[in-house]
Structures are given as C-alpha cells and as structure tokens.
Structure 1
Amino acid sequence: MTVFFKKAQRKNAKLRLAIAGPTGAGKTFGALILAKGIGGRIAVADTENSSAELYDDIVPFEHANLQPPYTPEKFIEAIKAAENAGFDTLIIDSITHEWSGVGGCLEIVDKLASTTFKGNSWGAWSQVTPRHRKFIDAMLQSSINIIVTLRSKMETVQTNDNGKKKVEKVGMKAEQRDGIEYEFTTVLDITHDNLAIATKDRTRLFADPRQLSENDGIALKQWLTSGSADACITGNQYFELEALMLQAGINIENFCSKRGLNSLHDVQQQKFDETCNGIQKIIERNQQAHNENEQQLQAENNARLDSDYQMALADIQNAKSINDLNKPSSYFHGTKYEQQINNACQAKSDMEGWSA
C-alpha cells in the first residue's frame, strides 16, 4: 500500500493515563480527583474489594466490583460495558490483577504450561500473549477516557530526618508486563507521601512533582480538547466503519489510496456519519439487487416447475408400466406438486391394474 505523508497535526484525543504506586500511596484517590476535573460521567471497575467506594464523597461515580478470575477478557468486557453505557471516563483499579492476580495472565501461563504444553512455558505464552494484547488494544482503541492504576512492588528504605532515623515505604517497578508504560500518554508514579512524579508525559503538564488535584484534571481536559478540529475517528468508529465496508464488499486499501489516507484511522470525525451513510446505501442497493435476483430466479424456477408438471401429467397418462411412474414421483418429491403427482400416479396405477 502507498504511504502518504502529510503535515503533522495533533488531534483531539482521549486520555490514556496510568498511576502507579505502593499500597496506600493514593492511586485510587488520584484517579478519581483527575476524573472529577475532566468532568462527565465516571465509571470505576474495581478489583480491590470495592475499596474505591470509600471515596464516594470526592465525586459521584458508578461502580462495578470485578471478581476473580481476572482474565484479560474480563477487563475487556468492563471497557466495552463502560463505552456502551455512555461514560466519559473509566477508571480501572487496578490492571495489576490482569497480569499477576488470581486467574490473571501469569496464572493462566502456569496452568497451560503444566497441562496443555507439558512444561513448555513458551508454548503457553503463545496463547496468553495475544489475549493480553487484546486487552491493551481495547484500552488504546476505546472511545472514552481511560485511567488505570498499577501496584508497585514495595521495599522499605531507612531515611534520616533531622538526625532521626525512620523507615519509609517506596514504590518500585509497577506490577504488569514489561513495557506497559509505553502504551499510555502519561504515566505517574505516586510516592508514599502522595507526590505524583511523571515518568512519561506527552501532555507536558506534570513537569513538577506534586499532589494531584482537580485542577490537574481540568488541565488534562483542556489539553485533550485543544487539538485540531479535524479529529480522526475513534477506535470504536474504526471497527464500525471497517465492518460496514466489509459488508458492502468495498476494498479498504483502494478506498484509502484514492483519498490519500494511510488507513481508516485517518478518516476525519466530521466525515464519519457521511461516510457510514454512503456505505449503508451501497449495502441497501446490494441487498435490493440480491433480493431482485432471488425473486427472478424463484419466478424462473416456478415457471419451469409448472411446465414440468404439465409434461409429467402427460407422461403419467402415457405410462406403459408401473416403473414409468417412478421418475415423476421422485422428481416432484418435496415440491408443491408432490401430492397431485402422487394422486395421478395412483390413479394411473389403479386404472391399469398395477396396484395389485
């Protein structure tokens, strides 16, 4: 396929933000306070025994308590449910469970390796990695804002505060698959004293460590909506458009090439409805043509059957033996003329004395 280059232009976007930190650092609180600043309806998919509901005084939100096994498909289902319900932001608290929780990816690999693959963990990963990737894709292609939390492996360090030694908890590496941070626009590490430190930030809004506030959510909303008005379609719209094109029999590669698009992802949001309506009309025309062809074929078949019926009656009348009646009886079996043919055959047989 031809590759097209065009002037770079940031589009309006949906949030993909991860908050990592040790237990008690304030990950859930931080996610909710950011969602409050962004505004709109908020959903929380909770794997932490409904702990998010302890913060219902911060901002109104709707809650789903996810139970084990924490398979990738369960998290995908939560994302789709939030999209279908029309939420603006989904908080998944936390996605660590999808990886290392009960029934998560690591447990699935161990089970497959010890059974299906007879100790071959590489073989097990060949089945689990695509399932995990579908979960990541569901987040990236979602039509709503996604905020996730991740647990960090914990260790304690000894610090000196004005001559007094004390032990503090610090976060380490987030408990998820290596490289998970590359999937998000912004990744914030929360220290045990509730400071957010950006380890990745394409928004450039979190240059300085600080406690998260509603104002940070407001700033995120402004950044998300400050892109070009020629926003491209969302992940869900992409799948809808692709399905329509396949149904209409449209060659997607040719469609994109004629319009200077690298892929369907480059279709502009403002042209989405118009494009879908045009394709829908093609589908309707194709269906109408198909129905007309079916009707024409049916009419031809009916006319042929009517003609054959008249010829069969003449053959029955001229039959020389009972064996001559087998062909018309078999030919019209299951048709609208079956009973009439059987009656004619019986009458001929009775008249000739073949029945006895």
Structure 2
Amino acid sequence: MEIRKAERKKAKIKMAVQGASGSGKTYSSLLIAYGLCKDWNKIIVIDTENNSADLYSNLGDYNVLNVQAPFTPEKYIEALQMCLKALAEVIIIDSTSHCWDYLIDLHANMSGNSFTNWSKITPRQNAFINAILKADCHVISTMRVKQDYVLNQKDGKYVPEKVGLKAVQRDGVDYEFTLVLDINANHQATASKDRTNLFVGKPDFQITSENGELISDWCNRGKSELDDVKLLINSSNGVNELLTIFNAYPQYQKILTSEFTLKKEKLQQINQSLTITKFNQDGSFKVNS
C-alpha cells in the first residue's frame, strides 16, 4: 500500500449503447467500432439477436460470433475469450440484455428464499461484467430499454406513471462503464454517463465513425502498461532483475524482445568490466593495452 501521484494511463473503452428496438444500437455500435480501430477485420460482434448483425455487412468485412439460447453468463464469457484469442481490437456484445433476462427467469423459477437465491445469481452476473471490464480490447455493450413506471397516489388511488426508459440489465450496471450513450427513436444519441467528457452536456447527435475516433484519441492519451515495462527494463540494475521483469510480463516478451536483449548485453558488459577491474586491483588479471 502506497500513496502515489495520479497518472493518466492509456485505456480500452468499456462503453454501453442503449435504446429501444429499432433505434439503431447495432448500426451505431459498428460505426463507433470502426472509428476506434479503423479496421473492419479487427471487429467482432457477439450476436444474440438472431443474426441481426449480418444486416449491416455492407459497411465492411467485420466478424460475427453467433450465440444461441440459453444466454448464460458463462456462455458470454466464453464468447469474449474466443474474441480475445482471435485478437479482436473491438468487441461488440449485441446484446447483454438477454443475459439479464436469463438470470431473472432463472431466479423466478428457483425454489426457496428469494433473497438467498440472489446470492447464487449475483456472482454469475458479476463474473460476466468483470470479464468485460478486464478484456484487453475495446468493448461496446448494447442494451435494450423499456419504459419504466412508478406508482403515484392520486385521489386515493395508485396510478402508474411513466418516468423514462430503463435498461434491461441489472440496476446500476451503467456505473461499470466509462461511457453510456442513449439512442432515441429518431436515431439521435445523448450521453447519460460520460467520464471522457467528450459528449456530456452536448445536444442530441447522430453517431458516426468520427465519434469512435474521438473516443480512440481519448483512450490513447497518457502512458500505457507497455511504457511502464519499458521503463522497468531501462532502470533494471542486474540480469536477475531483468529476468524477473521478463517473467512478470509474458504478454510483452515478443514485443519487447530487442529491448530485453539490448539491456541484457549492456548489463553483461558492465558486469564483465567490473570483474576485470577487480582482477586488476588484485593484481591477478592484466588487460592487454
């Protein structure tokens, strides 16, 4: 545990696009995804919407991974892992609402205490969300919304009143995302949550690939973990310390092969020089001039 200075690091966006059926969630997500990576081949759509992702194949040669019912959290996690192994730069989960519907139905059909049963459901939901947050790539999650109501008392009677749209997902799931865009029936978007400060407070806008470019630029500001590893390599004081760094970051071993090799050679030269100097001081070794 230590106190340190705040430092902005490069990031992979974890965002949600939510809207009613027909609002354009999938289409908009694809445009954002292309803006993020500028390569359709690096985009994979996890499709739970009856092959709806194929409807926009005219946009580019993106990839689709179809997922069929039952929409368990574990199936979503497996799909995410498959996309990561395929080296996807952007994963679109279209949509996460099916997972929540599955868990709600599962809970409703469980016997016993309802409150206790949630202790069996919640860890599975949390594992799914954590898999999204830990994914080493950009992730765009689409969510369906429905009209939300509250009961208000009028003239002695309780009357349902509309209070806006609510995502079909666990309450508070929007807190997990860096950016949440809401799309209305006119295909216009607003930001209901925006830690990037790129869209908050702005009027409704039409989503384009340029929005993805803005998000990509925001993600690339600051230092990356790769930069941190390079600093560790350069500051290492011995071959054993360098080997420890090498083993601690297997994901960067190939990328940083030349840096590790050059630093190892420098450290070995320093060690050799120190050894020769010691021998000369002892009078037991003489360097030819």
TM-score greater than 0.5 by the shorter chain: yes
Match for residue 30 of structure 2 among 11, 32, 39:
32
Partner of 1:268, secondary structure, is: helix
State the Cα deviation string for residues 185-213 of structure 1 (Å, max 9, x = none).
Answer: 00011011011110100111113220100
TM-score when scaled to structure 1? 0.59
Give me the identity figure in percent: 40
Q: Is the CA contact (8 Å cut-off) linking 1:32 and 1:59 kept in structure 2?
A: no
1:125 aligns with 2:118: yes
Instruction: Indicate the residue corresponding to 2:211 in structure 1.
Output: 216
State the Cα deviation string for residues 16-71 of structure 1 (Å, max 9, x = none).
Answer: 01001001100001100000111240000011001011011123211011100011
Query: Matched residues in 2 for 1:72 and 1:276: separation?
Result: 35
Partner of 2:60, secondary structure, is: coil
Instruction: Indicate the residue corresponding to 2:18 in structure 1.
Output: 20
Q: Which runs of 5+ in 2 are unaligned?
A: 149-162, 234-241, 250-289
Report the CA distance shift for 1:203/1:69 in structure 2 as closer, same or farther (over 3 A): same
Report the CA distance shift for 1:107/1:38 in structure 2 as closer, same or farther (over 3 A): same
State the Cα deviation string for residues 94-149 of structure 1 (Å, max 9, x = none).
Answer: 0000101xxx21122123x22xxxx3112211111111100011001111110010
Q: Aligned AA for 1:25?
A: S
Query: Matched residues in 2 for 1:56 and 1:154: separation?
Result: 31
1:50 aligns with 2:19: no
The alpha-carbon deviation at position 154 of structure 1 amounts to 3.8
Report the CA distance shift for 1:51/1:274 in structure 2 as closer, same or farther (over 3 A): farther
Match for residue 232 of structure 1 among 205, 225, 233:
225
User: By percentage of residues, which structure has more strand?
Assistant: 2
Q: Aligned AA for 1:202?
A: R
User: By percentage of residues, which structure has more helix?
Assistant: 1
Report the CA distance shift for 1:13/1:269 in structure 2 as closer, same or farther (over 3 A): farther
1:200 aligns with 2:193: yes
Q: Aligned AA for 2:246?
A: N
Structure 1 residues 83-98: aligned runs within 5 Å: 83-98=84-99
TM-score when scaled to structure 2? 0.72
Partner of 1:91, secondary structure, is: strand
Instruction: Indicate the residue corresponding to 2:141 in structure 1.
Output: 148
Q: Aligned AA for 1:85?
A: A
The alpha-carbon deviation at position 14 of structure 1 amounts to 0.3
Q: Is the CA contact (8 Å cut-off) linking 1:188 and 1:198 kept in structure 2?
A: yes
1:268 aligns with 2:228: yes
Instruction: Indicate the residue corresponding to 2:80 in structure 1.
Output: 79
The alpha-carbon deviation at position 269 of structure 1 amounts to 4.5
The alpha-carbon deviation at position 274 of structure 1 amounts to 5.9
Query: Matched residues in 2 for 1:52 and 1:269: separation?
Result: 38
1:8 aligns with 2:18: no
Q: Aligned AA for 1:120?
A: N
Runs of 4+ in 1 over 2 A off after TM superposition: 267-280
Q: Is the CA contact (8 Å cut-off) linking 1:22 and 1:154 kept in structure 2?
A: no
Report the CA distance shift for 1:135/1:86 in structure 2 as closer, same or farther (over 3 A): same
Query: Matched residues in 1 for 2:132 and 2:113: separation?
Result: 30
Query: Matched residues in 1 for 2:137 and 2:164: separation?
Result: 29
Q: Which of structures 1 and 2 has the larger relative contact order (alpha carbons within 8 angstroms, sep 6+)? A: 2
Superposition RMSD in Å? 2.4
Q: How many pairs does the alignment contain?
A: 223
Query: Matched residues in 2 for 1:275 and 1:98: separation?
Result: 41
Q: Is the CA contact (8 Å cut-off) linking 1:33 and 1:59 kept in structure 2?
A: no
Q: Which runs of 5+ in 1 are unaligned?
A: 156-169, 234-266, 281-356
Partner of 1:123, secondary structure, is: helix
Query: Matched residues in 1 for 2:77 and 2:177: separation?
Result: 17
